[in-house]
Amino acid sequence: MAALAGRTVVITGAGGGIGRAIAINAAVEGANVVVADYGVALDGTNPRSEVADTVVAEIQAAGGAATAVNESVTSPAGAQAIIRAAVETYGGLDGVVCCAGVLRHRPFLEMSVEDFSFVVDTHLVGHFTVFQAAAQLAVASNRPVSLVAISSGYLAGDPTRANYRAAKAGVVALMKSVAMAGEGGLYRCNAIAPIANTRMTEASNMLMKGGPEDVAPMAVYLMSQASEQLNGQVFTVDGDRIATWQDAVENRMTFASEQWTQAALAEQVPWLFQDTANRVTIRT
């Protein structure tokens, strides 16, 4: 039986790249697909409705069911319109994947607040608005929904992409929060941290071994009933490799018998970075 047979899913940013691959794979697996894409250029300008329409036509030509929505995820009204399209067209909602994203590269010292905020709004706020609208629907309709966040396989800092890195790190924290809010309830939330060739990686002069089509099956799996036990997890998908994440944990620790002094810190902080078997010390 197809993994998403009879289910309805919403994919944001589905006009290209990873979002498009997920939308097509979801349709192949039997889902009714809401293809949501504002149709903007990589920097978030020049919205075009035909971007989503093209993917819908592709799905329908292959015998699948899909409808297009040309709304921005950065506003609650846009997110509500996207989720409402699933209900009005197919009668409900079972899964959501948030792939919408933009890039505005700038050196840190030259990055404007506008460029920082615009990228964060699309990636991070866009997850919040869509997830909240979907979760509200799940509670109101008493119909469970699986929410899938798209973070990044690279959360290390970047001197020219501080906005993007900050947004993607925030997506993981948001996902964890949503997962906790819906624990045991009508919505659950997990994340994929993809490493794949897309227009974003091309713009960053990065070459990956995998493509969007390698990410799509995991997204479909996380929206299917087969994964209903998963909540609050992050999965790296890198070509043929899948890995789970471990939450950030403390590495080494040191204690003071009294309040810390500058002299004591100067002695003990370097120890925290030493590679020794003893991972705990008490300074007397």
Q: Are 80 and 60 in contact (CB under 8 A)?
A: no
Q: Are 238 and 195 in contact (CB under 8 A)?
A: yes
**Would you call 255 exposed, middle or buried from its count of C-beta atoms within 10 A (0-12, 13-18, 19+)?**
exposed
Q: Are 18 and 196 in contact (CB under 8 A)?
A: yes
Q: Are 10 and 95 in contact (CB under 8 A)?
A: yes
Q: Are 168 and 184 in contact (CB under 8 A)?
A: no
Q: Which two tokens stand for residue 80?
A: 């509500």
Query: Which residues are the active-site residues?
Result: 164
Strand runs labelled E in 13-87: 32-36, 65-69
Q: Which two tokens stand for residue 124?
A: 């991070």
CA angle 43, 45, 47 (to 5 degrees): 125
What's the CA gap between 148 and 159, in Å, rounded? 28
**Residue partners of 98: CB distance under 8 A and separation at least 6:** 12, 13, 73, 126, 127, 130, 131, 147, 148, 149, 150
The CA-to-CA distance between both ends of the chain, in Å, stands at 65
17: left (phi over 0), alpha (psi -120 to 50) or beta: left
Handedness of CA 195, 24, 161, 180 (dihedral sign): negative
Q: Are 240 and 208 in contact (CB under 8 A)?
A: no
What's the CA gap between 74 and 125, in Å, rounded? 6
